[in-house]
Amino acid sequence: MARRAAHGAAGRKRSAAALGQRLRDTAYGLAVAPVTCGRIPHRRRTHRETHPRQRALTPQATRQRLTHRRTQSVGHRRPSRKEPIVHLSRRARSLQYSAIRQISEKANRRGSDIIRLDIGEPDYPEPPLLAEIMPDIVAAGSFYAPTAGLPRLREALAARHSRTFGCEISPEAVIVSAGGTGALNTAMALLADEGDSIAIPTPGYPNYRTLAPLLGFTTKTYALDPERGWQPDLDEIEQLFANGTRAVLLNSPQNPAGCVLDADTVLRIAELCRRYDTWIISDEVYAAMQFSGQPISAFALAPDRVISVHSFSKEFSMTGYRIGYALVPETWRERFPMMMMGLMGSPSSVSQSAALGLAEERVDGMREFYRRRQALAGRLLEAEGIESWQPSGTFYRLIRLPEEVVDSFEFALTLIDHQVAVVPGLAFGDIPGVGTRYVRLSLTQSDDQISAGVRRIAQALRDVPEQFQRRTTQS
């Protein structure tokens, strides 16, 4: 008797389990095999048939029942059957896939024949001294470096800047970071609370906008107009400060336009900062690529109101070492490394030792190398009848597109079909009177590659009127 009761209970448990599995399989369109529960065989049914004790559920209703318990505790949309349940923060969901990355990935899929004028990766060789000193640096081993950087490196960088810009900079003002991006992100996090705003240039480096949603502040833009020599409108800057903007981000020499701010503009913006109790973040990672005139450092001009950002990636072609630094006003010298430690920790001791070995190196050869490249690109573009803006620094050059081209991103995709990659103006923002109807060239390939790239761009531009007329006729 006891054996029969136990057998019956086990059979009922198997029957219930089999019924649940059959309902799930039916809802997902899977084949349902005959099931034996206890000693009673059940014939095969479809979801349209009715169970003797229960009305059959539709696939949609069954799926809703099966996912209800899982989704009611997740707090967001119900996942599909094949989609894992993942909760993303609002910060993560606010991030956008950059136009630069989209172009780069499509160009990567085209193989090695495409001419890459899109990525700002310097092709000037690293200093030969690096190859000599790195074996000893590696043999010495790595270690956790002080948060603000190796003391000897801070002293060497302070001396280097004092010589370059003709001012006295103390080692305490130098804070070493994990790349120029590390210093830039720390500066913005230091100055802007949630709900605050930072003013950035348009056109401008796209990554200036990336950190804002992560930390909760917003960005506002000020225009760089080629009709004004790419200098910002001081009335516009003052209006931003009057409306509560906490800091203005300057970039000189500038990505993407290659323009250089004059000293008077920087001094007048610094005076506005004092009046409104705001700050300047000066991105100077291309400072060594200013082609003419006295190099300008915003920190040297107004050390009480400027955090300036610098990088070995562009100055010494050391992109993989991820080493940069900031020059910081006395007000922030204690808090800046504390903030940086919370965001990313201290930079690599190996990279800092390598940077220390180059502190006395000159960069005149690199500057002349890219000045000559710019001259070559200017001649090639002029010969093809392509309008471009003459830069005062960097290895970037902007091409203005004709009226027929209404979408710079679509044109950049078209250029990939012509085996050349550039960055569309859409990635950088509007130029007054032009909008985003332009593309950026990165002159970091050989002279022959640049020449071939310009020819391919010219051919694509000659094809534009025909393509535009064809689209108009079809519409």
Residues 412 and 423: their CA atoms lie apart, in Å, by: 7
CB 86 within 8 Å of CB 410? no
* pLDDT score of 67: 45
Closest CA to 203 of 440, 389, 392, 431: 431
Residues 242 and 238: their CA atoms lie apart, in Å, by: 6
Residue 50 has pLDDT above 60, yes or no: no
Confidence of residue 4 (pLDDT cuts 50, 70, 90): low
Sign of the Cα torsion 366, 371, 374, 375 reads negative
Could you read off the pLDDT of 297-327 as tens digits, one per residue? Answer: 999 999 999 999 999 999 999 999 999 999 9
* pLDDT score of 80: 56
* pLDDT score of 295: 85
- pTM for this entry: 0.80
CA of 67: how far to CAs of 64, 79, 87, in Å?
A: 5, 8, 16
Residue 88 has pLDDT above 50, yes or no: yes
* pLDDT score of 51: 47
What is the pLDDT of the chain when averaged over all its residues? Answer: 85
Residues 430 and 433: their CA atoms lie apart, in Å, by: 8
Q: Alpha helices of 384-446 — where are they, by DSSP H?
A: 408-417
Close Cβ partners of 235 (under 8 Å, ≥ 6 residues apart): none
120 DSSP 8-state letter: -
The secondary element (H helix, E strand) that includes residue 174 is strand 174-177
Q: What is the mean pLDDT of residues 179-201?
A: 95
Residue 203 has pLDDT above 50, yes or no: yes
Within a 10 A sphere around the Cβ of 199, how many other Cβ atoms? Answer: 24
Could you read off the pLDDT of 142-187 as tens digits, one per residue? Answer: 999 999 999 999 999 999 999 998 889 999 999 999 999 999 999 9
CA-based R_g, the chain, Å? 30
Residues 251 and 428: their CA atoms lie apart, in Å, by: 13
* pLDDT score of 71: 41
Confidence of residue 190 (pLDDT cuts 50, 70, 90): very high
Residue scoring higher pLDDT (319 or 20): 319
Helix, strand, coil shares of the chain, percent, nearest 5, are 50, 15, 35
Q: What is the mean pLDDT of residues 369-392?
A: 97
CB 396 within 8 Å of CB 436? no
Confidence of residue 52 (pLDDT cuts 50, 70, 90): very low
Structural domains for the chain: 2-72 (no CATH), 99-122+363-474 (3.90.1150.10), 128-357 (3.40.640.10)
Residue 24 has pLDDT above 70, yes or no: no
* pLDDT score of 20: 47
The secondary element (H helix, E strand) that includes residue 420 is strand 420-421
Residue scoring higher pLDDT (402 or 473): 402
Q: What is the mean pLDDT of residues 348-366?
A: 94
Could you read off the pLDDT of 221-252 as tens digits, one per residue? Answer: 999 999 999 999 999 999 999 999 999 999 99
Which tokens sit at 440?
């950026």
